[in-house]
Every structure is written in C-alpha cells, then in structure tokens.
Amino acid sequence: MYQDYEDGVIMDDTVMIIDEKRAGFPLATRIFQFLVIAIGSWAGISMLVESIGIPCNMLRVDSAILIFTALFYVFCIFPSYDLVKLFFSILIYGLFLYSRLRGILNGFYLIENLASKRISAYYGTEPVQFVADKVTADADITLFVIMFLILMVGLLSVAVIRSRLVGIGSVILFLPIAACFLLGLIPSELYLISYALCLLYLIRSEYHEHHSVNRQQKTLLHRISSRSAIWLCMTSLLLFFLMKIFVTREDYDSMTGIKQVKAEIQSAMNDFSWEDLTRRISDIQLFTRKVSSTGLNGGELGRIGQVQYENVRHLTIIAPLQSIDEGIYLKGYVGSIYTGDRWEAHSQEMQKEYEKLSQRLPQKLFPPVNQMELFLEHFVIDEEIGTETNASSGWYEYSLDQGRMKIEYRGANNKFLYAPYFTDYSVLKDIMYEQDLYAAPILRKDNYEYQYFYNVSLLDSPTFYEKLLDRLSDYTEYEKLYRDYVYRIYTQLPEEGLLNIKRDFSPERVKTKTGSITEKIEYIKEYLDRNTQYSLTPGKLPDGEDFVEYFVYQNKVGYCAHYASAATLMLRSLGVPARYVEGYAVGAESIYRNSGSQETTRYTNLGKKSTIVTQSEVNVMDYNAHAWVEVYFDNCGWIPVEFTPGSTVNYNNSVVADMEEFSDNIEDGNIKKGQEETNTIPTPVPTIPIPEQPVNLPADGLNQASTASDNNLADTLYLLAILTALLLFTVGLLFYRIRKNKQARYSSDLNRRVIFLYREIEIMFHAVRWLPGKAALLEESEAYVKEQVADDEKEDFTQLMEIVRKARFSRDCISSQELAMVQIYWEDMYIKMNLESSLLKRIYLKLILSI
C-alpha cells in the first residue's frame, strides 16, 4: 500500500494508515456521517418545498427525516442480514405505497400543477394543469413528500456509510439545486450551503475498492476518505464565507452571465411547442409501416395504407343482452384540434379557457365528461311504479333502463378508459378527466365495472316537459355556461387549408337544403355515400396532402377514420359543434355466449321497476375498433353519430331524434313558445312485461356482492403480484451469486480458485468457532487458530496460508499440486463442520456457501 493520490488531500496512505490503526470508525466520524444524512435530506427537501412553494406539513416531514435517518443509519452500520433487511424494507414500502396510492398520486399531481405554475411564471409560458383533488391537498402532498424522502434518506445512507451508489446518489442529490436555478430561484444560504457541503462530503468520501485487499483495509480506506472529506468540507465552508465578503452580487452576475442565460432559456421555452415535438418524434420512421391491425392510434391519420385484421381479442364485456342487441359504442379517445394528419387534444389556449370555465362550473355538480349521465339522472323517479299519482293513467312519456357492464382488457390499450355512453363516471375510482374530452385511468387496470343507461326513449309531450323543467333548473344554468364554451371550441376549423370543405359546406351554400341538426347530418351522410367508397386499403397519405381533403376530393376511398374526420369538419363548417372519437363498436353479431343474468332498473314517468334480464358475454375483436363523431345537442350534451357506411351500430338514430326534439322544445330552461299550446295527446306505450324474478341469481351475475368480492380478489392478486416480484428478485439475485461462485470455483485461473476456496474455508472456521470473533478475519487470526487446532493439523494450516498469500500477492501462478492441497483442506473442514453443527446450522451454512 504505497499509492499516492492526485488531489493532494491524502499524500501517502502509509502515514494515514499508521495514524488510523484502530478497529473501526471513531465516534466523531460516525456522528458526522449521521449529520450528513439528516442535514442533506433536510436541506434537499426544504429547497424543493421552498422553490416550488409546496404546502406540506414541515413538522411531519422533519420528524420523518429524523426517524428514517436513524433507521437507515442503524441498518447500514450493522452489515449482517443485508438481504433480509432489503427484502422487508422493499416489502413494507411497497405495501404502504399500494395502500395509499390514490393519495400519493393526488399529491404528485398537485405538486406538478405548482411546478407548472412556477415554470410558466418564470419563463412566460402557458401552464399545463392536471386534474387533482384539492380537498385533501395538504395531507396528500405531505404524504408524497415523505414517500420521496424515504428513498432519498435510504440512498444517502448507503452512499455515506457503505460508500455504494455514490455516483447515482450524487446525480440525484444535485437535482434539487438544479430545479431551483431553473426556476430562477436561489435557495436560502442555510439550505444551499448545507446541501452543497453534504454533496461535497459524499463525493470526496468515496473510496475505490480496487485499492483494498481485505476487509480491514477496506474499512481503513473508507475511514481515511471520510476524514479527508470532513476537512475538505470545513475548508470549503471557510472559502465560501471569504468569497461572500469579497465578491458582491453584481460581480457574480457579471462573471456568470446568468441574466443572459435566463433570457436564452426563456426564448427557447416560448418557442417550444409540445405538439411540434411529439409530431417530430412520431414522424421518425425506423421501419416503413404499410399495414395496421386496426387503422386507429390515438387520433393519428394517414400513417398506414392498409387495415388488415388479425382476429385478436381486445376486450371482453358482459352486459345486458338488450343493450348489446341495440349496439354499444365504447368511447376511448376524443380529438379536438384537426392538424391535417391527426386529431389532437386541446391546445394550451383552449386548456386555459377551460380552466376559466371550471372556476364558474362546479366539477362535482356538472362534470362535462359525465354530462349526459347527469342529464338522464333527472329522469329518474326513485319510487316503485304504482306510487305516483299519474300511475293509473298508464302512459309512458319516457323510459330508460339502467344496468351494469363488466369489461376486461385483453389486447386493448389500457391508457384509455373504454366505457359505454351514459356511463356514471362519478362512482369510478382512480380516474381523471382530460378536460371535457374523455375520462382516463390514473391507475391502469385490466378490469372495470360501469353503471350506465341504455334503451333511452323520450316522447314529445308537453306534460313531460313541464314536469322535467322543475328538476332541470340547476342543470340548465350550468349547461348554458358549458354550451358557450362548446360553440367557441368545437366549431373551429384550421385557419389554413380545407379550402374545398369550407366552400362546399359553408352555411350560405347549404342553408336551403338543411335546417335542423338531423337534416345536416343526413345531408353529410348522403354526400359521403354518393361521392366516396368504403375501403380498408386506401393507401398512405401522400406527403403534403391534407387527410380529409385528399379523402373527399381525390382518393375518395377510406375507412371509419376517414368518414369520422370528414363528417366532423363538415359539421363544424355548418356551425354544428362536433368532435372526433375513437373506440370500439359492437352489436348483436359479436355476442359470444349468454352469461347468466343481472338485475336492471327501468325508469319511467310512472316510477321505477327492477327486473332480472339475461346478460351476454361479448368478445371485442380488433375489427371492432372504430371511429365516429360526437355532436352536441343544446340542453342535452354529446351524442354519438355514425357516418361510416355499412356500420352495424345505428341504434343512436332514434336517440339523436329524441335529443333534437328535446333541444328544439326547450330553450334556456323554458318551454319554447307554441309548445305549451300544443294539445298533443301522449302516445300510449304498452306496458312491457317484466319476467319473473328467479329465486337466486346465477353465480356469474353482476351484483354488488360479486363486485365487492372482485375488488377483494383484485387486491389479493395485486398483493400476491408484489410478493411474487420480490420473490423473483431474490431468486434472481441468488441465482446470480451461485452462478458467479460456480465460475470462480471452476475458473481456469488457479489463483482465483484458491482465493475462492479460502473464503469458504474462512466461513467454515467461523462455523466451528475457531476464530476469536464474528468479524475476525482468518489471515489476521493465524496465531489464534494455531492454538485451536491439533498439533498434526498446524502444518497443514501453515501450508494453506502460505499458498493463499502466494495466490493473492505473488506474481507467480499456483500449481496444480498447491490447488489440490487447498481442495483437500476444504474437504476436511467441510466434514468437520457437518460433524460439529446442528441440522439447521448445516442447512444455513450450505446456503451461505452456495451464495
């Protein structure tokens, strides 16, 4: 050990080794290490809280710092059972994370919103906000900070005490300082100096393992590096105060040019467009793709030239048979902005306008994504048929059924929440709203259950409107606010391009042919049927061409994405709010088999009636992927409309007619003039026979009990998945160690084989207690061992140690005879170990020798 260091702090290891000849770390060094971990964690978290403005409970955070610093400090000081400690630490952390996942995610989204506001305020950009629950903001943010803090403290402890993961830890610990500077903030001197010194200590205290040859020298070099790091920190602290005295802020700005750098970053941020970035990335084609299994991919248009189905199952749903018979749209992605070759979500300006609307529109009372279900809820009379005063009349002025759908993801993209129309999203957990476009999962799952309305029928009756208006008073007020936003956003067309669409479908050109929304829809359908042809092989979109214009006026062949895109833009050109939707469409032809029954509820103006109906299982295949249009009807909401020729799902034609009739007769919460004078007699609707209710529901019926059991089963399976992952990780680690030991045992390098056998002999010496202590090394206890062994064994032990020293320190190679002597000694020790150890200890030692 005569290695000179380059940095000048330790000039010669020999001197330091003489001065530091002791068994372990001095108490002062250990205390300093504890302070480095605690102060480094405290300073890092405090800088993040201060720079972003995080409203968390700092008393709890500081308490957590002390508790987990002490815990990890103890774990790292004592090296025994590291794998056991690591396993249970990850297990407990993972279980707690899962149990509080919703709150932790909410805290993360809240912090993201705060960071976005800080960035936008500093760089002058538009903030991007995520949907989050502000009711429990303080608790959720504090919980997220503590969960992040645990990882930070654990990483610091391993780096400071064990000198492991120092490189990764240094990079991660530098991030809080970088975040502050990027936000144009300089942390308080206390935080910054403390954090910088801890980071400096961490980097300088690292030692390189190739300098050491045994455990004692490893500890010795770590202790030397730690002491030099302490002196370096003290020197740096002194230099900092001297620099602060002699260097002013103006001098600092002129030397660093920070103001100019800020201006350059701000200019780059203003010019940055997320849409441009994603477009450029998506346009990078490593392989030319000409064939697709569905032709749909989150609003992308014209990327493939042929749709070729592979007959792959994407979803499995179980729903009432009547609902499937009339057809089901499973809504997934919704596009707002048309760019010529894709449908994108709202722009930053639109999002900002929606945020302003949200301040006036209570999300809990009127969530736009849940608007239609909320609208139909006003038709619900929560009394059994026969209790209403008009029950004796026998007239059905409206009727709608409510049932449940169970959906299982197979090959579908689980970043989208595929759900039927008129679904009650308010009862679903772990979902978020993408503004007013669609609902998406926060925590992606493979199984969902929805409650939704179907078989909706509304009649044109003045008494019906009069009764309903009283219930819709609050709804109509909120709907008017949202309607203004809808007409501003969803009638927009690109400023450039679409010249033919704007000309041929201008209100002036077609006003003599169309009047109502239904007439405009039929006009566009007839136009597309007459001038285009359905085809799954339309070819790729040529460079520089507009997707819709090329489809309508040049190529004239396409599939559902072509028809839905064209119809959306045509409706917008005519002043009708419309938007593009992707998802799945299924009908009776997709039914796989009947799957028991479920209880549904029919609501009418006479009351409600529960009944047991047949439910069916449907396999949703890749060829069920579909695109359609949503049209907004005043006073109601968004309704799906089909424009693709030959589509099997056309049930919504009657719903469209009913919604338009309702919209025409209601204006701003009042019956339109002329309607109240109408003496239209309600059309009698025969009472629909209700099947007798069976005594017991089938085992696979969708009821609340099965829902609870399914949730419990899902939790159990998730827990088992975590345990399985931990078990696989442990097995993989053991397999790696066993394989590595096997390579050493049978290595062609005889020196390496001797050293490997020597390490196992040392373990066996500990097993038979021939060493003075648990931490004692065999080479340092040679004299002690000779006193323990028999006289006839001392010569063999002496030869063993000479061969080992030759293998470790000499440049000469070990001979086959010397290797054989070490192997024979190993075998003799193994036999003695088995004779002098209990059964459990023998099993434990065999495991230790294997890894």
**Parallel, antiparallel or unpaired: strands 438-441 and 419-420:** unpaired
Q: Does residue 724 carry a pLDDT above 70?
A: no
- Would you say residue 288 lies in a domain? no
Last residue of a domain, which of 254, 275, 297? 254
Percentage of residues in the chain having pLDDT higher than 90: 7
Tokens of 297: 């991919």
Domain presence at residue 712: no
Q: What is the predicted pLDDT for the residue at 357?
A: 86
On whether residue 729 sits in a domain, the answer given is no
- Rounded mean pLDDT of the chain? 74
Q: Are residues 380 and 473 in the same domain?
A: yes
Strand partners, 402: 453, 601
**Domain match, 650 and 760 both:** no
The residue among 761, 809, 755 whose CA lies nearest residue 781 is 761
Average pLDDT value for residue range 362-373: 77
Give mean pLDDT, residues 681-687: 36
Rg of the chain on CA atoms, in Å: 37
Domain end among 681, 715, 737 = 681
Q: Which pLDDT belongs to residue 678? A: 37
Report the amino acid identity of residue 497: G
Answer whether residue 572 is part of any domain: yes
247 in the same domain as 363 = no
Are residues 315 and 197 located together in one domain of the fold? no
If asked whether residues 245 and 312 sit together in one domain, one would say no
Could you tell me if 822 and 758 are in contact, meaning their C-beta atoms sit under 8 angstroms apart?
yes
Whether the per-residue pLDDT at 719 is higher than 70: the answer is no
User: Do the domain assignments include residue 393?
Assistant: yes
Q: Are 69 and 41 in contact (CB under 8 A)?
A: yes
Written in H, E and C, the secondary structure of 577-631 is: CEEEEEEEEECHHHEEEEEEEEEEEEEECCEEEEEEEEEEEEEEEHHHEEEEEEE
Question: What residue numbers bound the domain in which 73 lies?
Answer: 13-254
Give the C-alpha separation, 482 to 493, whole Å. Answer: 20
Q: 548: pLDDT confidence band, cut at 50, 70 and 90? A: very high
The predicted-structure confidence for 480-533, as pLDDT tens digits, reads as follows 888 899 999 999 998 888 889 988 898 888 875 667 888 899 899 999 999 999
pLDDT at residue 388 in the model: 45
- Whether 622 and 506 map to the same domain: the answer is yes
Is the domain of 67 the same as that of 167? Answer: yes
List 456's β-bridge partners, or say none: none
Q: What is residue 565's predicted lDDT score, i.e. its pLDDT?
A: 93
pLDDT at 688: 36
Same domain, 30 and 103: yes
Select from 556, 559, 567 the least CA-distant residue to 629: 567
Residues 455 and 376 in one domain: yes
556 and 464 belong to one structural domain: yes
| Residue 79 or 760, more confident | 760
Q: Alpha-carbon distance 438 to 74, whole Å?
A: 49
525 and 391 co-located in one domain: yes
- pLDDT on residue 391: 44
Rounded to whole angstroms, how far apart are CA atoms 549 and 814? 81
CA–CA separation, 760 vs 781, rounded Å? 16
pLDDT of residue 425: 85
Last residue of a domain, one of 660, 681, 702: 681
pLDDT on residue 210? 41
What pLDDT does residue 4 have? 42
Residue type, 134: K
Residue 593: the pLDDT is: 77
The helix-helix angle for 58-77 and 137-161 (nearest 10°) equals: 30
* Position 698 in a domain: no
Of 24-33, 76-85, 478-487, 773-782, the poorest mean pLDDT is in 24-33
DSSP state of 464: H
Q: What's the confidence (pLDDT) of residue 400?
A: 84
Range with the lowest mean pLDDT among 344-358, 561-575, 629-643, 718-732? 718-732
Would you report the helix, strand and coil content of the chain in percent, each value rounded to 5? 55, 15, 30
pLDDT tens by residue, 262-310: 555 555 555 455 445 554 444 444 444 444 555 677 788 877 777 877 7
Q: Which amino acid is at 440?
A: A
Asked whether residue 285 is assigned to any structural domain, the reply reads no
> 578-586 and 607-621 as β-strands: parallel, antiparallel, unpaired?
unpaired
Q: For residue 441, what are its two tokens?
A: 């999962």
Closest among 35, 255, 347, 268 to 161, alpha carbons compared: 35
Q: Which two tokens stand for residue 437?
A: 């476009």
Whether 112 is covered by a domain: the verdict is: yes
Choose from 147-151, 629-633, 654-658 the range with maximum mean pLDDT: 629-633
Q: Is the pLDDT of residue 567 over 90?
A: yes
More confident residue, 414 or 223: 414
Is residue 794 predicted with pLDDT exceeding 90?
no
pLDDT for the residue 243: 62
pLDDT in tens, 4-49: 434 444 434 444 444 444 445 567 667 777 887 887 778 777 777 7
Enter the tokens of residue 264. 């350059």
User: For residue 361, is pLDDT > 60?
Assistant: yes
Residues 206 and 328 both lie in one domain:
no
Q: Check residue 566 and give its pLDDT.
A: 93
Number of domains in the chain: 3
pLDDT digits (tens, 9 = 90+) for 378-430: 777 666 655 444 444 456 677 888 899 999 988 888 888 898 988 888 888 87
